[in-house]
Structure 1
Amino acid sequence: MTDISATPPSSIASSGSALMKKRNRHQTMLQGLGIAAISFAAIMLFILIASLVSSGYKAFTQTHIQVEVFVDPEEIPVDGLPRGGFDDVLLASLQQYFPDVEGRADLRKLETILSNGAQFRLRDQVVENPDLIGQTISVTVPTSDDYDQLAKGMVDRDSPENQRKLSDRQIGWFETLEEAGVITQPINWALLTNADSRFPELAGLKGALVGSFWALLVCFLISFPLGIGAAIYLEEFASKNKWSDIIEVNINNLAAVPSIVFGLLALAVFLGWFGMPRSAPLVGGMTLALMTMPTIIIATRAALKAVPPSIREAALGVGASKHQVVFSHVLPLAMPGILTGTIIGLAQALGETAPLLLIGMNAFITSAPGSPLDSATALPTQIFIWADSPERGFVSRTSAAILVLLTFLIAMNAIAIFLRSKFERKW
């Protein structure tokens, strides 16, 4: 047997000191790895946000031209308002700055300064007030995408003429308008108030925002009550046996299933068997509800488990029934956690793209849906559509749409954190 008392105290002290140094070294390494991981994540997040802002901030302004327009009665008769010659009236007003521009070909090139939607903006103004016919009015209309890119510095004016879409003469026309002080760049509210368009300067997110609202509303109305009901039954009323264990395992597995699988299920069942309308937010909401429900069930069961057993025992001790214990005592105390899990689940559903693509919510929709049965798109699918467009103006709008989507996601997660911190009970 080893005689411990024979070991010199100095050896024991040096051995303990070496062990402490080793433990401290391992702890320092672990802390360093954690700090490095957090720093790497923060750097990647900064790069992502910076790249989106640098390419998307220009979409939040739009180049406009302000012209004095004579609403010629010969071009726009009162009885022909819906189909009047509004483009000819605008071209005549623009031509006043370039009296030397003549010929049909040159006039067509000059007209490309104006957006294709400029005539419709003038039309709406005149239709709303027919008394404007015969008067000279000031009209502010958007420029086309090529000139919008030029005004925002995305076209190198010094590059060779054969390497850009605008000729030197066209750039000279635009510079003349800039010198005349009729070019402005106000905030692009049309990005939020317009629906989609083939022309980048007219495209907006209104249809996608409304479509996402209807889809999330349907998703909430289906997944919230069904998810909470299933969680309450499984946690509070169901017998603990192999069948409940199988159900629990399958719910956990469903929460990890790729979202595209739910899209295929919706395509086969909702569209194939039931014949529901394609591209409708109703179908999109039902698809997202299938995907969100497992998350809500898991979050609700975790919130119910967090309520101390003493609450149940005290309620049962004063004569409350099982039903009263659950719905009058346990469920109200678990509601903050349930709401937090629900909001996080809906935020995840808001950012899903694959299932919505499979049910056709990536159609070209030029107006916002008026009901869940109308054809619509959603924010993620609108971003997908714009990212696939060849026009250069959609590049910045794609980044701007991603920033809008991230804003909604951050807001929903912030609400979840607020609810959790404000109503969470400490036991």
Structure 2
Amino acid sequence: MKRFILEQSETEFYTSHSGLALVGLCLNQYGQLNQVLDKGIPLRHGIAHADIIKSMIGSLCLGKSDFEAIENYRDDDYFKTALSIQQVPSSARLRQRLDEHADALLPLVYQSNIDFLAHAQVPVTPLATGHVALDIDVYPMNNEKTRKEGVSRTYKGFDGYAPIALYLGQEGWCLGNELREGKQHCQYEFLYSLERGLTAAKRLTPLPLLVRLDSGHDALDNRIVLQEDEQAEFIIKWNPRKQNADAWLAYAEQHGQWDTPREGKRVALFSVTEEHTRNGQTYSCRRVMQITERTTTAKGQLLLFPEIEMEGWWTSLASTEYDDTLIVQLYRDHATAEQFHSEFKTDLDIERLPSGKFATNDVIMTLSAYSYNILRWIGLIGLLGQQSPIRHPAKRRRIRTVIQELMYLAARLIRTGRRLKLRFSNACPGFIAFESTYTKLAAG
């Protein structure tokens, strides 16, 4: 085979990450980071806070979460130009600045993330019922064999963190990605996250919200807050907590609608209404119940004693409009949030957080939510139409696909007069998608 001659040029400039031009437009056209940070944290000298934050977001959008990765871009003029950065910090300065101002930066970055979604007017697709899903879930992040602040035993049986994420709509816009200690129960301080998430969601859509929570959030306080919210409905997985399975089976025999999916397995579905009193006020709530009785395994093995499985879902949706089967189907779609978790942990590479300080890692988590939303928006614009590179049909693209197809496009950087050009190969499969995305983002 023919051998290649390897050379480096001092007169020609190329970039392997031309997609940062799209990230820069999202940050500077819609995010308003400069104004928010300059006003929120005054700085007399040194690298601007906005340069610090943009540098970290740029690195995250390329799938690199460690501080040392920024060293690769310190002398990269394209990195600075694409993101409108005056000076790229060193890894030490980046770490130090985030450590110094973590508490002050956190609310500003969070607000800028929500501002970006609002100013970009991102599409928020409702469910078939007309509700916009707001999925809130805790997920574990493995940080074993480290001494980072806040690392402790998670519910999955390893040491790490247990952050809580909030996703809106079928696109999965991330309204928050809050870091929590691994041992922290999901319900602890949850009402703050819920109320903040509802406020952000209402800013992005006027449609009714459907909040979906797992059984760790089966608490009367949550149901009261959501019942009193005029724009929100809810489905919360029921936690049986020492309920008598035989008693519920007997109840299901009389009131349930039974189905037999296979021989040796029966499933009953029905609703019950329960009342609870808090501060002298009575609250009534519907719970959809599903009782499963198995007398044989799926392979036909007879069981000595029947297996009885109980499941339930609290809901504020009226039984006259939403039958029991529909409630179960609506909740099962909540599992889509698991895919979004994996995109954070693998595609953005944030599972093992870079800092030893809890507050700094909390800022990194919020910056990852910002980066995730930017990449999701770029993917929706550029990778779903006919102009996108050849891919299987989908409603949305994984963050990894956006990074591969649009972030890491190679181009030649050409300076002509006072203007800059990005010249792509004639055979570049992503050029049309890149051009259309850039044009739409630049139009503002």
> What is the TM-score when the length of structure 1 is the normalising length?
0.24
> What is the TM-score when the length of structure 2 is the normalising length?
0.24
More strand by share: 2
